[in-house]
């Protein structure tokens, strides 16, 4: 047996080709992430940085001033997520199912029209909806009045009971195109043979959707759920654009992102505190990490895959 | 090859340009007032350069929301300008303590300012001054004169008259009595609580007593403004809960509302937008004959980068800012921002003139939450926004709001414990 074969040559080209991506990713993602985690273990005393271990986390969870804000933000975040899961994803699946119907006309137009809000900037969406819902200039009161439902109108964004749900629905409106597109792609990849075989067995229409298509697109729905989870727990822009950093009224729309922003960068007279801000960012990171792990090990690994 | 030539030419031209102006000192001014760029370039800089040959000025503003962050990183990197526009209180004090702002207590022009004016930019014990007070904003109410004439009401002087006026405008039905919303929160605190408050806590007297720990936010003087605020809600127009600050500005300048709780910074904007005659009145006092107190809030200061190589030129400039020449140019170029110097200044804009005339009639104070009291967590200013909105909407009683703020303040501020 010749020596050369066992001692394979080190394949330098792999390193060379990976290097740019790894370096860029390290510089803009990995290093900042670990530096944020590191920063959360420090605090500032008299203009100098001091290591305090987990003291910041104790303040965040132990001091009622901080913990009430944190739990409020986390609770709001869960509600934000729940609205997306219960409204955005089912509507996305339904739209995809309708769009993939072979007899639907103008499918391309509907697809683009529903997807376009997704590419709009948060600032535009936040501002446009604020105007639409405005009690003064908005078209919402007028439209409701025209159908005789004026009594249902309320200045939703200004009411504690409705503001968060309203903003969640605005976000759903903006992003419903994403689950729709992913599910649409998954539905298109189901081979016709399976559907035809089902048809021969007498499974058509709604039954075909529930019994054949839905089980086949479950992995996609799983991926969408986890994407929604990560996006929602990182959300910040829409709330900031619509309600500002104080996430009014009375913090009823405060989510982890706005809480972190306010703490890290400061707001009005409140000076920024990068250390407590990093602590909140680390907590957010932990929450998202736990959520993703639960999904990966609890759900993803058990999901059955069908080979066509 | 071509590229190197271009770069070489550019480098050469930079060096040449550098030597050409070497005799002149150029002072770069950092500021967040990018709205004022034209005023600086057309009025202020030519006036200064004409009087001080050899010193050139360059005004380099950044966006207001980014200013603090941009300035901090520039200062840390050593690339900040010679002159630094100062936010009032803690933001600038932090810069002074970090050694970025130079002490200028012994500047000759400093004699032109009252202690209240200087309080925005001096250490807590008022021994060290690090910025020259440049401008303040005065709070009060702007009203639509035509609406008042139409409804047949006079400018109110006392609280009772104020509510009678509001009631009458509401009955008349043609105008929204008062244009203010709670969506953005700060108006309720800044144009609400801190606007009407000084009349109750007697301006500086109450403000300083609160800082010293002699009064509490649960005292009558600090709760009473909330009680008045709670009575505003019925006069604010439908859906005020979701009404934003620009909404309120538009409602008033379109002539749909009669009264606008204001800061004087609105003057120049409103002059351009409203096609009706406007007047202003100061916050109504409790009983006829009471002394009136106004919030004459220190807003803009100007200081010197401690690391500047042109310290002498910078001092010359700061002295000029403290003079009445600068004050007059500034006050007339920017009606609504009032110079803080005690030197006499004439303001030509009638609405701005009305605001500044109150200085003679009433006692001046600044916003109660700005000095020292918003240094800790929870932040008293942010809490005051929240409490003012909650009280206005009737979600919290004035008593409970005062109690909550007091507990928050006492949790970190020793004199209140």
Instruction: Give the pLDDT band (50/70/90) at residue A1.
Output: very low
Instruction: Give the pLDDT band (50/70/90) at residue B16.
Output: very low
Query: CB–CB of B182 and A158 under 8 A?
Result: yes
Instruction: Give the pLDDT band (50/70/90) at residue B2.
Output: low
Q: What gap in Å lies between CA A191 and CA B127, rounded to an integer?
A: 82
Mean pLDDT over the full length of chain A: 89
- CA neighbor of B95 nearest in space, from B79, B71, B112, B117: B71
Tokens 């919402």 found at? A140
From A65, A136, A271, residue closest to B247, measured CB to CB = A136
Is it the case that residue A2 has pLDDT exceeding 60? no
Rounded to 5°, angle at Cα B188 from B249 and B277 = 35
Tell me which H or E stretch contains B71.
helix B67-77
Coil vs helix vs strand at A125: helix
Query: CB–CB of B242 and A66 under 8 A?
Result: no
- CA neighbor of B412 nearest in space, from B153, B208, B213, B190: B213
Is it the case that residue B36 has pLDDT exceeding 60? yes
Percent of chain B whose pLDDT exceeds 70 = 94
Coil vs helix vs strand at A205: helix
Residue of B nearest to A245 (CA): B184
Q: What is the phi/psi pair of residue B285, to 5°?
A: -85, 170
Is it the case that residue B22 has pLDDT exceeding 80? no
Is it the case that residue A165 has pLDDT exceeding 90? yes
- A267 in contact with B at a CB cutoff of 8 Å? yes
Residue of A nearest to B390 (CA): A250
From B69, B184, B382, residue closest to A270, measured CB to CB = B382
- Substitution target in A127, A270, A276, A280 with the highest count of B β-carbons within 10 Å is A270
Interface of B with A in 304-363 (CB under 8 A): none
- CA neighbor of B367 nearest in space, from B142, B138, B100, B46: B138
Is it the case that residue A183 has pLDDT exceeding 70? yes
Q: Which residues does chain A have within 8 Å of residue B238's beta carbon, measured at their own beta carbons?
A: 135, 155
Two tokens, residue B245:
């600050």
Neighbours of A254 (CB within 10 A): 25
Instruction: Give the pLDDT band (50/70/90) at residue B7.
Output: low
DSSP A29: I
Chain B closest-CA separation from residue A249 CA (Å): 7
Q: What gap in Å lies between CA A120 and CA A219, rounded to an integer?
A: 28
Chain A closest-CA separation from residue B194 CA (Å): 15
Two tokens, residue B168:
């009458």
pLDDT tens, position by position, B97-139? 889 999 999 888 888 888 888 888 998 888 899 999 999 999 9
CA distances from A8 to A1, A16, A279, B84 (A): 14, 18, 47, 64
Query: CB–CB of B239 and A130 under 8 A?
Result: no
All domains of chain B in start order, with CATH = 21-137+298-353 (3.40.190.10), 138-296+367-416 (3.40.190.10)
Full DSSP string of B236-258: S-TTGGG--HHHHHHHHHTT-EE
pLDDT tens, position by position, B186-202? 899 999 999 999 999 99
Q: What gap in Å lies between CA A43 and CA B43, rounded to an integer?
A: 46
Query: CB–CB of B239 and A268 under 8 A?
Result: no
Q: Which residues does chain B have within 8 Å of residue A246's beta carbon, measured at their own beta carbons?
A: 185, 382, 385-386
Two tokens, residue A155:
């200045």
Fold of A64-302: MetI-like fold (1.10.3720)
Coil vs helix vs strand at A120: coil
Strand partners, B295: B365
Query: CB–CB of B185 and A66 under 8 A?
Result: no
Mean pLDDT over the full length of chain B: 88
pLDDT of residue A260: 94
Q: Please name the residue ranges forming H helices in B122-190.
A: 145-151, 159-172, 186-187
Rounded to 5°, angle at Cα B86 from B85 and B89 = 175
pLDDT (mean) for B209-220: 94
Is it the case that residue B400 has pLDDT exceeding 50? yes
Task: Specify burial of residue B271 (Cβ count, 10 A radius: 0-12, 13-18, 19+).
Answer: middle
Residues 6+ apart with CB under 8 A from B285: B157, B158, B159, B199, B291, B292
Is it the case that residue A286 has pLDDT exceeding 90? yes
Chain A closest-CA separation from residue B144 CA (Å): 19
pLDDT of residue B19: 45
Question: Inter-axis angle of helices A89-99 and A214-233, to 10 degrees?
Answer: 140
Task: Specify burial of residue A175 (Cβ count, 10 A radius: 0-12, 13-18, 19+).
Answer: buried
- B187 in contact with A at a CB cutoff of 8 Å? no
pLDDT of residue A287: 95
CA distances from B247 to A124, B234, B241 (A): 17, 18, 12
User: β-strands B176-178, B257-263: how paired?
Assistant: parallel
- CA neighbor of B248 nearest in space, from B161, B177, B300: B177
pLDDT of residue B21: 47
Residue of A nearest to B391 (CA): A250
Q: Which residues of A265-283 are buried (b: 16+ CB within 10 A; e: fewer)?
A: bbbbbbbbbbbbbbbbbbb
Coil vs helix vs strand at B407: helix
Query: CB–CB of B395 and A65 under 8 A?
Result: no
Q: Which residues of B359-379 are buried (b: 16+ CB within 10 A; e: fewer)?
A: eeebbbbbbbbbbbbbbebbb
pLDDT tens, position by position, B246-290? 899 999 999 999 999 999 989 988 988 899 999 999 999 999 989
pLDDT of residue B17: 45
Task: Tell me the CA end-to-end span of chain A in Å, nearest whole number.
Answer: 42
Instruction: Give the pLDDT band (50/70/90) at residue A206.
Output: confident
Is it the case that residue B13 has pLDDT exceeding 70? no
Task: Report the greatest alpha carbon distance in chain B.
Answer: 83
From A47, A137, A157, residue closest to B98, measured CB to CB = A47
pLDDT of residue A301: 78
Is it the case that residue B182 has pLDDT exceeding 70? yes
ipTM value for the complex: 0.75
pLDDT tens, position by position, A64-108? 889 999 999 999 999 999 999 999 999 999 999 999 888 888 989
Residues 6+ apart with CB under 8 A from B120: B86, B88, B89, B92, B131, B133, B298, B299, B301, B366, B370, B371
- A269 in contact with B at a CB cutoff of 8 Å? yes
The better pLDDT of the pair A114, B76 is held by A114
pLDDT of residue A103: 86
CA distances from A29 to A62, A231, A289, B208, B403 (A): 30, 16, 15, 48, 45
Rounded to 5°, angle at Cα A278 from A272 and A284 = 125
Two tokens, residue A199:
């048809």
From-to residues of CATH 1.10.3720.10 in chain A? 64-302
Q: Specify whether the CB–CB gap between A249 and A256 falls below 8 A.
A: no
pLDDT of residue B377: 81
Query: CB–CB of B183 and A251 under 8 A?
Result: no
Strand partners, B84: B30, B303
Q: What is the pTM of this model?
A: 0.81
- A45 in contact with B at a CB cutoff of 8 Å? no
Is it the case that residue A203 has pLDDT exceeding 60? yes
From B90, B182, B251, residue closest to A249, measured CB to CB = B182
Tell me which H or E stretch contains B303.
strand B293-304
pLDDT (mean) for A2-29: 84
Interface of A with B in 152-211 (CB under 8 A): 154-160
Q: Which residues does chain A have within 8 Å of residue B184's beta carbon, measured at their own beta carbons?
A: 244, 248
Per-residue H/E/C for B74-135: HHHHCCCCCEEEECCCHHHHHHHHCCCECCCCCCHHHHHECHHHHHHHECCCCCCECEEEEE
Interface of B with A in 50-89 (CB under 8 A): 68-69, 89
Residues 6+ apart with CB under 8 A from A62: none
Chain A closest-CA separation from residue B381 CA (Å): 7
From A65, A249, A267, residue closest to B241, measured CB to CB = A249
- A14 in contact with B at a CB cutoff of 8 Å? no
Full DSSP string of B318-375: HHHHTSHHHHHHHHHHSTTSEE-BSS------HHHHHHHHHHHHSEEE--TTTSSTTS
pLDDT (mean) for B29-46: 88
Q: What gap in Å lies between CA A59 and CA A275, rounded to an integer?
A: 11
pLDDT of residue B275: 92
Q: Which residues does chain B have within 8 Å of residue A66's beta carbon, measured at their own beta carbons?
A: 377
Is it the case that residue B86 has pLDDT exceeding 80? yes
Which region, left, alpha or beta, applies to residue A278 given φ > 0 means left and ψ of -120 to 50 means alpha? alpha
């Amino acid at each position: 047996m010749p020596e050369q074969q066992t001692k394979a040559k080190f394949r330098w080209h792999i390193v060379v080709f990976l290097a740019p991506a790894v370096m860029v990713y390290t510089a803009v993602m990995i290093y900042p992430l670990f530096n944020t985690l590191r920063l959360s273990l420090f605090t500032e005393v008299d203009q100098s940085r001091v290591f305090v271990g987990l003291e910041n986390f104790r303040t965040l969870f132990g001091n009622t001033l901080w913990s009430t804000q944190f739990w409020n933000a986390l609770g709001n975040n869960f509600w934000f997520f729940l609205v997306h899961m219960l409204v955005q994803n089912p509507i996305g699946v339904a739209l995809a199912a309708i769009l993939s119907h072979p007899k639907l006309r103008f499918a391309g137009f509907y697809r683009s029209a529903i997807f376009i809000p997704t590419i709009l900037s948060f600032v535009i969406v936040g501002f446009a909806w604020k105007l639409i819902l405005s009690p003064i200039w908005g078209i919402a009161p007028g439209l409701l009045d025209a159908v005789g439902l004026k009594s249902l109108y309320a200045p939703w964004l200004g009411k504690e009971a409705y503001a968060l749900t309203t903003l969640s629905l605005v976000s759903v409106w903006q992003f419903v195109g994403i689950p729709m597109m992913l599910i649409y792609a998954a539905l298109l990849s189901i081979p016709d043979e399976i559907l035809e075989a089902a048809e021969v067995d007498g499974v058509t229409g709604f039954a075909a959707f529930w019994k054949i298509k839905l089980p086949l697109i479950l992995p996609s729905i799983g991926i969408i759920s986890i994407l929604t989870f990560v996006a929602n727990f990182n959300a910040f822009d829409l709330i900031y654009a619509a309600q500002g950093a104080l996430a009014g009224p009375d913090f009823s729309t405060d989510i982890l992102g706005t809480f972190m922003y306010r703490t890290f960068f400061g707001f009005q007279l409140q000076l920024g505190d990068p250390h407590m801000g990093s602590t909140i960012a680390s907590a957010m990171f932990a929450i998202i990490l736990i959520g993703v792990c639960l999904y990966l090990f609890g759900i993803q690994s058990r999901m059955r895959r069908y080979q066509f | 090859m071509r590229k190197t030539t271009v770069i070489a030419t550019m480098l050469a031209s930079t060096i040449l340009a550098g030597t050409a102006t070497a005799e002149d000192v150029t002072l770069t001014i950092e500021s967040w007032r990018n709205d004022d760029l034209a005023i600086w370039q057309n009025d202020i800089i030519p006036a200064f350069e004409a009087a001080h040959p050899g010193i050139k000025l360059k005004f380099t503003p950044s966006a207001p929301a980014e200013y603090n962050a941009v300035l901090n990183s520039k200062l840390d990197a050593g690339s900040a300008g010679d002159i630094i526009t100062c936010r009032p209180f803690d933001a600038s004090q932090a810069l002074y303590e970090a050694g970025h702002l130079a002490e200028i207590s012994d500047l000759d022009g400093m004699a032109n300012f009252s202690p209240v004016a200087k309080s925005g930019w001096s250490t807590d014990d008022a021994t060290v001054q690090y910025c020259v007070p440049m401008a303040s904003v005065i709070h009060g109410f702007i009203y639509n004169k035509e609406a008042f004439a139409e409804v047949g009401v006079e400018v109110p002087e006392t609280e009772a008259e104020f509510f009678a006026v509001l009631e009458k405008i509401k009955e008349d039905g043609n105008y929204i009595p008062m244009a203010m919303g709670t969506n953005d929160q700060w108006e309720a605190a800044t144009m609400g609580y801190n606007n009407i408050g000084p009349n109750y806590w007697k301006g500086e007297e109450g403000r300083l007593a609160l800082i010293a720990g002699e009064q509490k936010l649960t005292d009558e003087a600090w709760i009473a403004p909330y009680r008045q605020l709670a009575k505003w809600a019925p006069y604010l127009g439908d859906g005020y809960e979701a009404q934003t600050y620009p909404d309120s500005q538009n409602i008033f300048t379109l002539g749909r509302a009669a009264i606008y709780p204001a800061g004087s910074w609105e003057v120049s904007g409103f002059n351009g937008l409203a096609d009706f005659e406007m007047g202003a009145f100061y916050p109504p006092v409790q009983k006829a004959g009471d002394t009136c107190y106004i919030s004459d809030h220190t807003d803009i200061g100007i200081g010197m980068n401690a690391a500047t190589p042109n310290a002498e030129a910078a001092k010359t400039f700061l002295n000029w800012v403290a003079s009445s020449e600068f004050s007059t140019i500034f006050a007339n170029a920017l009606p609504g921002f009032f110079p803080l110097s005690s030197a006499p200044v004439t303001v030509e804009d009638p609405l701005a003139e009305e605001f500044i005339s109150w200085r003679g009639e009433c006692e001046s104070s600044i916003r109660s939450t700005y000095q020292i009291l918003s240094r800790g967590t929870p932040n008293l200013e942010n809490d005051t926004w929240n409490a003012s909105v909650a009280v206005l909407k009737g979600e919290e009683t004035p008593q409970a709001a005062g109690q909550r703020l007091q507990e928050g303040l006492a949790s970190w501020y020793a004199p209140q414990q």
